[in-house]
Amino acid sequence: MKIDVHGHLSAPESLYAYKANLLAHRGAHGRGSAGVTDDTLRAALTEPNRTFGNQSHLRHLDEAGVDIQLISPRPYQMMHSEQAKLVEWFAEETNDAIARTCRIEPGRFRGIAGMPQSMETTPERWTKELRRCVTDLGFVGAMLNPDPYEGAAQPPALSDRFWYPVWEAVCELDVPVLIHSAGCRPPARESYSLHFIQEETLAVAAMLSSSVLDDFPTLKIIVSHGGGAIPYQRGRFQPGALRAGITFEERMRKLYYDTCLYTRDSIELLLRAVGTDRCLFGTEKPGTGSTRDPRTGRWVDDIHLLIEDIDWLDDGQRKQLFETNARELFRI
């Protein structure tokens, strides 16, 4: 079995038209509704999408042999740096669309909650929506953006007590957190894809140099995109760790990492750095990587094939990556 812990909602156009209207009227017309229906959600899953290589969401999963996918909001769409009530309305509509998708395909999808992370409000307020998603809608995890300003200002590092209400909530609810940055507000030096990697790098560095994991011993953190740049640069941090009487690899193993990396050598480096028991199969399929590589004919995000190509993995390690680790963390 393959459980993909890093998937995102494929939504009908009405959800994003709703977002555009919110941004246009700035709340003057009230909350309104995205008008998402079961029929439009089903079409978003089954109809070919030009953005995803002219193939449907479900066909991508079927061809990759993905049995269960954990889906969260499309991060770059979450507009956390906008007006608070707009952020809240859109997050709630998006989470409702995820919940309906899970009801339409109950054997295929599980929900990961997006929180309305406006810096005009507080983390305590963000967790209200998280609690609704987990207790009322049956979601199995949370997605956290470490930069709600979306590049427009500097937020507190994840080591700061500012974030403690989130850690308290997820520990109480007993759900893992997927660290995944959101958009990058212009003007900016980087694209949102590069912003993801930068913020996830900072997230790992902050968590491993703080007391957060000691203060919250049941906290389960998964870092998207293989932990950003940290696995490649771990030697840079090794001397400081050794002076403290620990290896940096041991520190890295306090977190979990997904395999959403699009080359075999990158995935191998991650697995060698932290071990297969700290990694979970994640593809972000369909998404950025859903284009065919003309050299191989494969989809770039065919991460299952990249893992299968790693000849030093044994059957038990592959089972950990594809299934066991996700089952244990998300209680699936």
Is residue 284 annotated as part of the catalytic site, yes or no? yes
Q: Tell me how far apart the terminal alpha carbons of the chain are, to the nearest angstrom.
A: 12
* Torsion angle (degrees, nearest 10) of CA 107, 133, 52, 201: -120
Q: How deeply is 227 buried, as exposed, middle or buried, from its count of CB atoms within 10 A (0-12, 13-18, 19+)?
A: buried
Q: Which of 88, 93, 150, 284 is catalytic?
A: 284
Q: Where are the beta strands (DSSP E) in the chain?
A: 3-8, 68-72, 109-114, 141-144, 177-179, 221-223, 256-258, 279-280
Q: % helix / strand / coil in the chain, to the nearest 5?
A: 50, 10, 40
* Contact between residue 162 and residue 121 where contact means Cβ atoms under 8 Å apart: no
Distance CA 223, CA 261 (A): 12
Distance CA 299, CA 285 (A): 10
Q: Where are the beta strands (DSSP E) in 89-246?
A: 109-114, 141-144, 177-179, 221-223
* Contact between residue 49 and residue 74 where contact means Cβ atoms under 8 Å apart: no
Q: Which residues participate in catalysis according to the annotation? A: 284
